[in-house]
A and B are shown apart, each in its own frame.
Chain A
């Protein structure tokens, strides 16, 4: 026990004596949260639209006005030529083209149906999908309006279906409070994993690791001495991030913060042990950085921070069972936004408990005092 205290004392002195450490701990999270939360949003506004109105009728004009009035669309210009509109798309100056063919109003009145065409720039499939959904909504609304005007209120005899949306847990569909917990997870993981991974390898490079290896220190003491300081720092980072989120973005905290920290403690054991394991098997800081980034980026992209993890293919969902970030992202959102309790996250909790045990044993086992 006294050995561990001596090791911890040494690590903390070294950490706080390092001039880069305080900026990393305090400035990085604020910058990342402020910049990323605003930048990494899926909310779409100002979809640039080109209108090709070949009908020039009253109905077509009203349809165009309907798009213009939507907060999502910005009617950029009008033209009569499809080719010209396509040029806008090609030049990246427009996102979507609304093409109303000649005879649109006539068809609508005579045959009760008419067609419009939407051309969407789908280089980014996600934004294209969203544009399409928004546009379809506008068209559906418009359609309903026309029906009511022409056939009178449908009310007589026919029940009118009125869909009213109510978004639970995030009533305003505020992307920021959805992204914020995710970004916090990335931040805490990056700092914790990175500092742990670099620390041991640095000692190997300097030669001090060897000096430690000729002492009668026990492997578990060494591993605890290397994990605990960064575990404390990462947990502190999480509190700091939550505070910043609360102040800057009014991040809701529906569930128990104690539960969140309990889960985070477990999660960080996993993340940090992975970092430690990578540094145990590496010989230089460059090696460990490459390994770290490989795992970190894979984990982040699969974790469901930016894209819903549930819509990934089955094999990817299975891979995600070893992605600690996926667990924490899910749980932090559940606790903060939904107010989930222990019963709701117990599955994730025990899975990470098992994971932490495995990773720590692996790191301890693979750490060799003799080569």
Chain B
């Protein structure tokens, strides 16, 4: 982790839907190469903030830069440098595994040779060579999630945004999924992940806890546990929520 370079810089981010304030003056930095966890209950405003950083939603106000570029003037350029995986399942179910990889790799402008090479690599790492010609619809959910993550970083982005990536997945697959996140982080990709599983918070380098549109606490899991005199992140969260 390189504390010197912030790949995401957010100052006073506000997002309003009519009279409802979903994000109230958020300020935080995400450093190069770290795994940054965005925690909070459902409706706390995590997904809203993440969608703004991905360019899927427009902020009401605030200063934001992502991957070294100003969000307002470079939204489309930022998109080349980031990957995204949403709560909703994002691969095409009626396309085969290799067709999905080819499509996204192609959209990001990879050459035919690169596409072939990365497809082989990816399937080998995931040990999914056997299902290369299967449609996504035929795969179990856990496999699809892992595949979706790998496709989200097929173009080797600087940052990958994961919106509750492990929702509805069994504990073993969740563990494997986190192994993949670590691997991506080791490869130099900054990971921005939202979750409401507190045990996952402990896997992050730094976390930010949101409640009702505001950031309540930010720091490494150890710092937070000390500050709130808690045994684990679950307790930290409960103390903050009170």
Q: Is the CB of B54 within 8 A of A371?
A: no
Q: Assess the B79–A215 pair: CB atoms within 8 A.
A: yes
In Å, the complex CA distance between A206 and B57 comes to 18
Q: Ordered nearest first, which 4 A-B pairs have the shortest CB separation?
A: A207-B88, A6-B106, A211-B90, A214-B84
Contacts of B91 in A (CB 8 A): 208, 211
Distance between A277 CB and nearest chain B CB, rounded to angstroms: 21
A217 at the interface (CB under 8 A from B): yes
Q: If the complex has contacts A10-B99, A13-B95, A210-B88, are A371 and B108 also in contact, measured as CB distance less than 8 A?
A: no
- 17 A-B contact pairs sorted by A residue (CB < 8 Å): A3-B106, A3-B107, A5-B106, A9-B103, A10-B95, A206-B93, A208-B90, A208-B92, A210-B88, A211-B84, A211-B91, A213-B56, A216-B79, A369-B75, A369-B76, A370-B56, A371-B56
Q: A6-B102, A10-B99, A13-B99 are in contact. Are A216 and B108 (CB under 8 A)?
A: yes
> Given known contacts A216-B77, A216-B80, is B106 in contact with A2 (CB within 8 Å)?
yes
- Within 8 Å by CB of B94, from A18, A211, A216, lies A18
- Whether a CB of chain A sits under 8 angstroms from the CB of B86 is yes
Our pick among B55, B79, B88, B107 for the contact of A6 (Cβ within 8 Å) is B107
B56 touches A7 (CB 8 A): no
Verify if A265 is at the interface (C-beta below 8 Å from B). no
**Chain B, 94-133, contact with A by CB distance < 8 Å: what is the 0/1 string?**
1100010011101111000000000000000000000000
A7 B89 Cβ-Cβ under 8 A: no
**Residue B64 at the A interface, CB < 8 A?**
no
A-B CB contacts (within 8 Å), total count:
78
Contact B75 A211 (CB under 8 A): no
Asked whether A14 and B95 contact (CB < 8 A) given A208-B90, A210-B90, A216-B76, the answer is yes
Report the separation of the CA atoms of residues A102 and B232 in the bound assembly, to the nearest whole angstrom: 110
Report the bound CA distance from A276 to B41 in whole Å: 37
Residue of A nearest to B108 (CB): A215
B residues sitting closer than 8 Å to A (CB atoms) are 54-58, 75-77, 79-80, 82-84, 86, 88-95, 99, 102-104, 106-109
Residue of A nearest to B55 (CB): A370
- Complex CA–CA separation, A206 to B91 (angstroms): 9
Cβ-defined contact, A215 with B56, below 8 A: no
Contact partner, B109, options A2, A207, A214, A369, Cβ 8 Å? A2
Interface size class of A (residues with CB under 8 A): 20 to 34
CB-CB < 8 A to B92: which residues of A? Answer: 10, 14, 208
Q: B82: which A residues are within 8 A, CB to CB?
A: 214
Distance of A312 Cα from B82 Cα, bound (Å): 57
CA A255 to CA B189, docked complex, whole Å: 63
Q: Complex Cα distance A13/B93, Å?
A: 12
B72 to chain A, nearest CB (A): 11
A contact residues around B77 at 8 Å (CB): 216
Q: Determine whether A164 belongs to the interface, using a CB cutoff of 8 Å to chain B.
A: no
- The 8 A CB mask of A199-231 against B (1 = contact, 0 = none) is 000000011101111111110000000000000
A41 CB → nearest B CB, Å: 41
Q: Mark out the residues of chain A between 1 and 46 whose CB falls within 8 Å of any chain B CB in the assembled complex.
A: 2-3, 5-7, 9-10, 13-14, 17-18
A3 to B103, CA, bound (A): 9
CB contacts (< 8 Å) of A216 on chain B: these are 76-77, 79-80, 107-109
User: Across the interface, do B107 and A215 meet the contact criterion of CB distance under 8 Å?
Assistant: yes
Q: How far is the CA of A277 from the CA of B106 in the complex (A)?
A: 26
B80 to chain A: which residues have CB within 8 Å? 216
Shortest B50–chain A CB gap in Å is 11
Measured in the bound complex, the distance between the Cα atoms of B95 and A200 in whole Å is: 16
Query: Shortest Cβ distance from B93 into chain A, in angstroms?
Result: 8
- State the CA gap A370–B55 with chains docked (Å): 6
**Closest CB in chain B relative to A219 CB, distance in Å:** 10
A128 to B104 alpha-carbon distance, docked (Å):
62
CA distance A333 to B5 in the complex (A): 69
Chain B residues whose C-beta falls within 8 Å of the C-beta of A218 in the assembled complex: 76
Chain A residues whose CB sits within 8 angstroms of the CB of B104 once the complex forms: 211, 215
Q: Are B107 and A14 in contact (CB under 8 A)?
A: no
Interchain CA distance A215-B92 in the complex, whole Å: 15
The residue in chain B whose Cβ has the minimal distance to the Cβ of A3 is: B107
